[in-house]
């Protein structure tokens, strides 16, 4: 381990300097930090209700790759963000 000597700096001044730098870095992190939200999965029924369509429409859109399905244990789920991103904005 390497030793460093601080000449002309008191321990109190060094502690204050370290505290000031760490506090500044933490406040910068708090300003720019956005917590990652967990991925929300929807069932076929929930997607159908969300888009006000029939289950067969959800099935057809999945076959046409308009919607991307995920499967686990025989159950089909859709990521909410992917469903929302699959909507196309119309220019009028």
- The rounded percent of the chain whose pLDDT value lies above 70 is 98
State the DSSP H helix or E strand holding residue 89, giving kind and residue range, or none if neither.
Answer: none
pLDDT in tens, 32-75: 888 788 899 999 999 999 999 999 999 999 999 999 999 999 99
List, in sequence order, every residue forming a beta bridge with 41; answer none if it has no partner.
Answer: 79
Three-class secondary structure of residue 18 per DSSP: helix
Three-class secondary structure of residue 53 per DSSP: coil
Q: How many helices (H) and strands (E) does the chain have?
A: 4, 3
Query: Whole-angstrom Cα distance, residue 14 to residue 30?
Result: 24
Tell me the pLDDT band of 7, cut-offs 50, 70 and 90.
Answer: confident
Query: Whole-angstrom Cα distance, residue 51 to residue 83?
Result: 9
Tell me the pLDDT band of 92, cut-offs 50, 70 and 90.
Answer: low
């Amino acid at each position: 381990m390497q030793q460093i000597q601080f000449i002309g700096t008191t321990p109190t001044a060094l502690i204050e300097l370290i505290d000031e730098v760490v506090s500044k870095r933490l406040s910068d992190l708090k300003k720019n930090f956005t917590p990652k939200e967990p991925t929300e999965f929807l069932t076929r029924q929930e997607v159908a209700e969300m888009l006000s369509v029939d289950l067969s429409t959800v099935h057809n859109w999945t076959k046409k790759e308009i919607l991307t399905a995920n499967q686990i244990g025989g159950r089909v789920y859709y990521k909410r963000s992917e469903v929302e991103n699959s909507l196309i904005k119309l220019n009028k």
